[in-house]
Structures are given as structure tokens and as C-alpha cells.
Amino acid sequence: MNRILEKKLNVFRNGASCLLLALTCHSAHAADFCVNTSAQLQQAFTTAGTNGEADRIRIEIGTYAGSSGNVAFAFYSSENFSLQVSGGWISNPPSMMCFENSNQPDLTVLTGSDERQVLKLDGAAGTSGALSLSTLTIRDGFTSQAGAGLAIGGGGFSGSVVVNHVVIQRNVSTMVGGGMRLFSEGIVSVRNNLFLLNRCAFSNCAIIATVNAADSSTTRAFFGNNTIVGNQCTSGSTCTDTGARFGGSARAVFYNNVFAANSNGDLNLFSFSGGSVDLYNNSIVSITGTAPTVMSGNIAFANPQFVDLLNDDLRPTLTSPLRNAGTDLFALQSLDLAGVARVNESIVDIGAYENNDLIFANQFDLVQ
């Protein structure tokens, strides 16, 4: 944790412990929670699933681990109300709870302790309550299910899904989808995330995503500025497509994503019933399955020149081919995954991180 945030926490806490924020209704159908223990977090999920309201769960900076069962933290609802979950929050008890956000996902960690699935956010078939997740690190999950780190959506779920500004790393599935399993028949947005060193025994170790739509001509899934690196088969297995898999009857667009060092394939496309995928300005070496409908601006570099791959510093260097190689045809976030401006120079970089070195207008003099 950086020193500035440590000082803030010391001042704000004043020795007090943050309690679960009592249900605060801003309207007839909105409820807020502020949590800082694992028990409070699970209780918030349990309450939100059945309270008949749209819910917002804010998680303070810290590490959260489930202590029993197959899933560390679980939410399930058969209601049509939205759920927003975000980490990185700072409180000043007793009156100012979760009032400031650090915008740093590495400061709020949900862990499966290498024993269980980390986070499961599921809506029942036929429901349409939106699910949104941001500013978190999800790590060290272990399960035989798809989505050892994160499972979100569900079969027949028609709500929108947003995963933004999230680090999903070092999760293991003994089946498929070590990092994330996503399923929806709504609008899907997966942007500014890192999928790092997730493993699986069969296929699609980083991401397995399915998005369906009755009308396959309208784009309903957006995957932008993600970094998908170092995802691998578990020891002794012969899995395939260790990066990401996208399938379904919806149209999808992948833009500004970087795939690198995935041990056995970057992107597997499996579309059916008229579904299609467009690829814009990605750095990607291998594509399998259904041929993309559109291929524009893509590059293929096995070594994208990260600052320090061995120590998980996946920012592009000044000489990286990712720098200034993205597209702004689609929505961009205002900040990258490190919390700095999304566009440092005139053109967005490929991947979750923007090169943030400062350069004079002539682009020759580096400001140290």
C-alpha cells in the first residue's frame, strides 16, 4: 500500500472499526452498504439478493477471504434489481463511510486462499438486474467449476454485465475458465482489466464468455483495453486456448486488448446462430475457431515489451509496439488500470495500462 493512502487510513480510522453501514435508502429502490470485514461483505451479498432494491456494495481497502464452503463470496438473486460492487474505498468513521475511492484495484483483494472459488455473482434465468464489478483484485481461487476467480451472470440471465478496472490473477480451475466465467443475454462490457497467470486443466484459462442475443446484428459485447498475459495449463494437463474464449449468438467487438505469453493459444472464437466477432487494434498472436468478421489495425507481437513481465509490471515501455497503437472508435475509460490518465499522448495504448512517461512535443526528450 502506498504511503499516502496509509496516512489517510491512519487519520480516518482514529482507532475505530468500520461497521456494516446500515441500509441507506436514497429512493424507494436503492440501498448502500459499506463493508470492511469478510463477514460483512457476505452479509451484504445475502441481503442484496432478496431485499427488493437496487444495491451498491462498497468495499474498504483490505484483504477479504471466505473461511468455509466452496465459494468465498456469493450473490444470487431472482429479482430484477441492479447490483454494483466496488473496492478501493476509504472511510472516516463514524459519519463518513466509504466516501473516497483510491482508484487502485490492488488495494482491495478478494482471495480464495487456494481453496475455493473467489466470487460468484449470479442472476436467475429470466431476470434482468444489471451486475457491475470494479476496482478489485480477485486472486488465488481454486475450484472444479468454471470461473475460479470470478463467475458472473448465468444461463438465461438477461441483465447487463460490467467488469471494469479489475485484476484477476493466479486462479485455478480443474476444468475451464480459471480466471473468469461470464454468461449473459444482455449488454456486456469488459474493460481495463488484467487477467494474469490464471490456470486451467482443459481450456480457456483466462476467460470463458458467452453472450447471446435474439438479434445477432447489433453489437452487445465489448471487450476493450484488457491485458491477458501468462495464462497457462495446470501441471501435467494438455489444455488448449489458454487465453480467452468468446462464444454466443451476439455480435462482439474486441479492441485495444493485448494477449501475450499464454501457453497454448490467445483467443478462441466460437460463434453460433449468426453471432460474430470484430477485432480492432489488438495485439494478438493466435486466433482459433470461427473467423472474425472484421480485422482492422491488429498487430502480432509475442514480446510486447512490458516494463517488467517477471515482476508483473505490465505497463508498455517507450519502445513497446503497444504504445499509441490503439483505437478510439469505441468507448475508453478516463483512467487506466493503474489510475493514471487513459490517454497519455494523442493516441490510446493497447492494453490495460497506458505508458505514462512524459515526452516533450518533439517526442525526443524524456522527462525523468
Cell 489458454 belongs to residue: 242
Phi and psi at residue 261, to the nearest 5°: 55, 25
> Of the ranges 27-36, 86-95, 353-362, which one carries the lowest mean pLDDT score?
353-362
Do 226 and 255 form a contact (C-beta atoms < 8 A)?
A: no
Q: Which stretch of 14-18, 95-99, 254-258 has the lowest confidence by average pLDDT?
A: 14-18
Task: Judge whether 242 and 204 are in contact, CB under 8 Å.
Answer: yes
pLDDT of 236 strictly over 90? no
Nearest to 65 by CA among 124, 125, 114: 114
Question: What does the pLDDT average to over 298-327?
Answer: 96
Which helix or strand (DSSP H or E) is residue 38 part of? helix 38-48
DSSP 3-state of 48: helix
Judged by DSSP in three states, 4 sits in helix
Question: Looking at residue 272, what is its pLDDT?
Answer: 76
State residue 45's pLDDT score: 98
Task: Encode pLDDT of 104-142 as tens digits.
Answer: 999 999 999 999 999 999 999 999 999 999 999 999 999
Q: Which residues contact 106 (CB under 8 A, 6 or more apart)?
A: 137, 167
Cell of 159: 441483465
Structure confidence at residue 25 as a pLDDT band (50, 70, 90): very low
Question: Looking at residue 358, what is its pLDDT?
Answer: 61
Q: How confident is the model at residue 69 (pLDDT cuts 50, 70, 90)?
A: very high
Average pLDDT, the chain: 90
Quote the percentage of the chain above a pLDDT of 90: 80
Name residue 191's beta-bridge partners: 164, 224
- pLDDT at site 239: 85
With a cut of 60, say whether residue 361 has pLDDT above it: no
Q: Specify the pairing of strand 294-296 against strand 83-92.
A: unpaired
List the one residue out of 63, 229, 55 whose CA is nearest residue 137.
63
What cell does 97 get? 463511510
DSSP secondary structure of 294-325: EEES-B--S---EEEGGGTEEEEPTT-TTTT-
Burial profile 126-163: b = 16 or more Cβ within 10 angstroms, e = fewer:
ebbbbbbbbbbbbbbbbbebbbbbbbbbbeebbbbbbb
Strand ranges, E, within 112-206: 117-123, 131-139, 142-143, 150-153, 161-169, 172-173, 180-184, 188-191, 194-196, 199-200
Handedness of CA 252, 194, 328, 82 (dihedral sign): positive
The letter for the amino acid at 90 is: I
